[in-house]
Amino acid sequence: YRHSSQYRFWSFSKERLREKRVNTNKIAADTIYKNILDFKNQQDLTQEQLDVLDARTQPLSVDDELKLINFYAKKVQVISQHLNLPTEIIATSISFFKKFFLENSVMQYDPKSLVHTTIFLACKAENYFISVDSFAKKAKPNREAILKYEFKLLESLKFSLLIHHPYKPLHGFFLDIQNVLHGKVDLNYMGQTYDKCKKKITEAILTDVVYLFTPPQITLAILMIEDEALITKYLELKFSVNSEKKNNDTISFSTLLTIINDCKSFIQEEKSVSTDDARKIAAQNFFCQNPMDL
């Protein structure tokens, strides 16, 4: 995992993640300020017009940007589900979209114009090839709109297209729980747990946990939300078995439990963005790039 591009390029501490967003936002905001200033100097505006400009063309704050990104990331999920794409490809689409807007600001690229491009590239990257014409037929925009930012997207992704999602670890833990708790788990119950957790993983991928934790840690956090007793028992047994072999690379149970609970609270505290909020932020985003329209 440490050799993977996901670990090398896309794993951050909370602080580093915040710092990246602040930087991305600042670069775009500085451009906005400059453009608005130029606009004011070029136009002969009344005081009232200047007041409106100042009130309605402020660049987006980092938090407002994040709301808009999350709102459209949800749209990526809905549209790719609507296209009946396999679960992992939906997850890859969401991941591509979020990463693009970690490197670029919504004030530089309209998130609407990246939604389909991220899904299209995710299909290609996951060997689920759909020609752009048939894609354009199913989705809304035309082929030029889909292809317009493909290169820019690939570059923003730092050319890392292989993503480890928490789904395979879910399958792995489904098997290993049977091994460690042999004979003590009801298989039907495990099957239902598996299905519920699979859905929850897709929700979790919409949050920042994908940057802060490894896929198996996210899976264990989701399993913990689903059935705390079962997972705690599983981990206690698994690590207590190992702890007899005092070898240097034994993962410490308490450390892992802290990480899992940290991840769990991250997933649970995530709030979705209302359409109303998104609309207001999108309007501000539009006007700060198009003061003449205002």
Binding site for another protein (CB under 8 A): 1, 3-5, 86, 88, 120-121, 124-125, 127, 129, 131-133, 143, 146-147, 150-151, 154-155, 159-162, 164, 168-176, 178-179, 182, 187, 191, 214-216, 219
Report the alpha-carbon angle 174-179-183, nearest 5: 100
Smallest distance, another protein to C-beta of residue 85, A:
13
Is the CB of 190 or the CB of 225 nearer to another protein?
190
Smallest distance, another protein to C-beta of residue 72, A:
21
Is the CB of 113 or the CB of 290 nearer to another protein?
113
Is the CB of 5 or the CB of 35 nearer to another protein?
5
Those residues with Cβ within 8 angstroms of residue 249's Cβ, 6 or more apart along the chain or in another chain:
none
Alpha-carbon span 177 to 223, nearest angstrom: 11
Give the DSSP H or E segment for 255.
Answer: helix 253-269
Smallest distance, another protein to C-beta of residue 290, A:
27
Query: % helix / strand / coil in the chain, to the nearest 5?
Result: 70, 0, 30
Is the CB of 23 or the CB of 131 nearer to another protein?
131
Smallest distance, another protein to C-beta of residue 29, A:
25
User: Which stretches does DSSP call E strand in the chain?
Assistant: none
Smallest distance, another protein to C-beta of residue 288, A:
28
Alpha-carbon span 122 to 124, nearest angstrom: 5
Phi and psi dihedrals of 100, rounded to 5? Answer: -55, -40
Report the alpha-carbon angle 141-145-146, nearest 5: 85
Is the CB of 255 or the CB of 275 nearer to another protein?
255
Is the CB of 82 or the CB of 168 nearer to another protein?
168
Residue appearing with tokens 């833990």: 173
Smallest distance, another protein to C-beta of residue 39, A:
31
How many residues are present in the chain?
294
